Structure 1
Amino acid sequence: MALDAPQIGSLTRTAMAAELLDADTELELARRWRDEGDEQALHRLVTAYMRLAVSMASKYRRYGAPMNDLIQEAGVGLMKAAEKFDPDRGVRFSTYAVWWIKASIQDYVMRNWSMVRTGSTSSQKSLFFNMRRIRAQIEREMERDGVQLSGEEIRVRIAAELGAPLRDVEMMEGRLAGSDFSLNAQQSGDEGREWIETLEDDSPNSEARVTRNHDLKAARTWIETAMDALSDRERMIIRARKLGDDPETLESLGSKLKLSKERVRQLESQALRKMRRRLEDSAGAEPAMLAAAF
């Protein structure tokens, strides 16, 4: 559940007033949680480092995400860190938690940046959060050195700086340069007309629907005619094997008919031959074409 502004203010004040843990206390709490499942120890450990989570969340406000959501995601990352932390590795919990908090916040920002998926790989994630900074750095160096680089040359340098494929740089540049627009927004210079009205309707038109319905009706009639040539048992096998949405297996039909799987296969083949002959004997080319499908 999203937190409102008063809740965020209260949470922030609580985080800022939380105790500062020394290394020994932190280690003891982490072990009590890991070894004994002591929830009080977990609560004390997490509360002590909510200050860190809030501080890190505030650094991502420039991406346009609500602060309350950022703090919630930071808290999620902090909880994951507490769940996975191994106190016997000789690392402070705060050092370990930074990575999880950062990852949780960044995943949230990227998920909500655009309706179009912004990126999923590590290189795309690095580009999303660092490309503008690297570009600005390159542009400052160009101005200082009095050189001019083309857009392609700048992208190549960004790719080299961040160790990312050039195609990812080009993709992310387009994503960061654009933004989402509502299809219900009105076009400029075309009063009253929305963008959605310019989309081509790819649904079948009336003529196509009529033709399709006619063809389906004719095929249904031909199949019913072909089925008249079958015995009741053969008709059952064909319906179960060929005309259902979820075709039955030979083994399943064999159990129902008390026949071997091989015998059911033989009866199916025999029934299909009968249907094919009936359709071939019918007048017109269309039934003969349908017969080829059996």
Structure 2
Amino acid sequence: MTATFALPVPSASGSLEQYIQGVNSIPMLTAEEEHALATRFSEHQDLEAAKQLVLSHLRVVVSIARGYAGYGLPQADLIQEGNIGLMKAVKRFEPNRGVRLFSFAVHWIKAEIHEFILRNWRLVRVATTKPQRKLFFNLRSMKSGFSALTDKEAHRIASELGVKPEEVREMETRMSGQDIALMADEGDDEGFAPIDWLADSEHEPTRRLEKQAFDRLQSQGLIDALDALDPRSRRIVEARWLADDGGATLHELAAEFGVSAERIRQIEAKALQKMKAAIGTRDAALV
């Protein structure tokens, strides 16, 4: 007969300290209790059993989350993400593998916390590849001090983690950088924010005049190139490329001129080549 284990539920309200006290008051399950609950959930999708498995391991999440306090992110957020990893672990746990849930869940808890840190530690992600992630979560603890890495230290860390020394130095640079606000805080009247130094060169007066002149030259060049074509070639190019209704098809123009669609395609290709040469000659003369 399978027993039901009544476990206290920590309050969702209140301070983080109260939450931690609550989860620490929940007793850990024995191997037999854990196996019975995991079997109930695995074989019968018993959600109450899954709930008790999660509750009994919340203290594990708190313990793991404390190890990531140095990244400057709220401890409550780290615990919340770790809890998501714990629930994923419970869902995938197989009780007959001979492994305790604690050992199995550690990977899932850390994976969720790692992903959260990488998403939120900087506005620009500092680690996207597997070697970068390995460096991100190990470099700080492997450094001998707060000063910049020496060549010897960089090579040692690279050797231990199986990465290149230049990757170690790049990650050190990324981690030592700080996000800078683009705009100044409200009420800050001193100095300039980075946005004050940015200019939109596209709307600078001389640039706009140059662009307008260039557009006029391009338009005139197109008109001159069209004027150089014979009437039939011009009609085909205008109908195919300059019409507002999406352009005529080869077969429509073939019916209009009483020739094959292939002949229209040949005339079109020759006309476009002639126009391209005419525009290129005009542009060269203007330089």
TM-score, normalised relative to structure 2:
0.71
Partner in structure 1 of residue 208 of structure 2 = 209
Match of 2:82 in 1: 74
Q: Which moved more, 1:215-224 or 1:48-57?
A: 215-224
Q: Against the structure 1 CA distance between its residues 136 and 255, is the aligned structure 2 distance closer, same or farther, given a 3 Å change threshold? A: farther
1:258–1:56 Cα change, 3 Å: farther
- 1:46-73 per-position Cα deviation (integer Å, ceiling 9, x unaligned): 1221121122112222221111111111
Distance 2:177 2:44 in 1: 51
**Do 1:229 and 1:274's aligned partners in 2 also have CA atoms closer than 8 Å?**
no
Distance 1:129 1:21 in 2: 31
| Residue aligning to 1:31 | 39
The answer for the alignment partner of 2:164 in structure 1 is: 165
The one-letter code sitting in structure 1 at the alignment partner of 2:210 is T
C-alpha separation between the residues in 1 aligned to 2:143 and 2:284? 67
Aligned pairs for 1:22-61 within 5 A: 22-61=30-69
For residues 276 and 134 of structure 1, do their structure 2 counterparts lie closer, same or farther at Cα, with a shift above 3 Å needed?
closer
Give the one of 84, 87, 108 matched to 2:92: 84
Aligned partner of 2:267 in structure 1 is 270
Q: Which amino acid aligns with 2:66?
A: S
1:127 is displaced (CA, Å) by 2.4
In structure 2, do the counterparts of structure 1 residues 203 and 6 end up closer, same or farther at CA, with 3 Å as the change threshold?
A: farther
Structure-2 separation of matches of 1:256 and 1:198: 56
Q: Select between 229-238 and 64-73 the one with higher mean Cα deviation.
A: 229-238
Change in 2 beyond 3 A, CA 1:154/1:19: closer
Runs of at least 5 residues in structure 2 that lack an aligned partner in the other structure:
1-11
- Change in Cα spacing, 1:100 to 1:272, as seen in structure 2 (3 Å) is same
Which residue of 128, 132, 138 corresponds with 2:136? 128
Q: Distance in 1 between matches of 2:277 and 2:124?
A: 53
Q: Deviations over 1:149-196 (max 9, x none)?
A: x8111211222233332112101221232222224469xxxx633344
8 Å Cα contact 2:136/2:171 also seen in 1? yes
Change (3 A) 1:273 1:162: closer
Shift of 1:131: 2.1
Residues in 1 aligned to 2:158 and 2:115: alpha-carbon distance in whole angstroms: 21
Contact 1:237 1:268 (8 Å CA) reproduced: no
Of 117, 123, 148, which residue of structure 1 is paired with 2:125? Answer: 117
The alpha-carbon deviation at position 95 of structure 1 amounts to 0.4
Asked whether the equivalents of residues 135 and 154 of structure 1 are also in contact (C-alpha less than 8 Å), the reply is yes
Aligned length: 263
How many Å apart are 1:288 and its aligned residue?
9.4
Question: What does residue 9 of structure 2 align with?
Answer: none
The superposition leaves residues 81-125 of structure 1 with CA deviations (integer Å, 9 ceiling, x where unpaired) of 123323332211110101111121122223222223211233322
TM-score (structure 1 length as normaliser): 0.70
Q: Is the 8 A contact 1:229 1:275 kept in 2?
A: no
Alpha-carbon separation, structure 2, partners of 1:152 and 1:267: 69
Distance 1:47 1:79 in 2: 10
Q: 2: distance between equivalents of 1:125 and 1:202?
A: 38
**Contact kept? 1:127, 1:162, Cα under 8 Å:** yes
Q: Deviations for 1:243-291, whole angstroms, at most 9, x for unmatched residues?
A: 99xx99x9xx6799999xxx65653442243355578789x942899xx
* Equivalence for 1:144: none
CA distance in 2, matches of 1:7, 1:234: 74
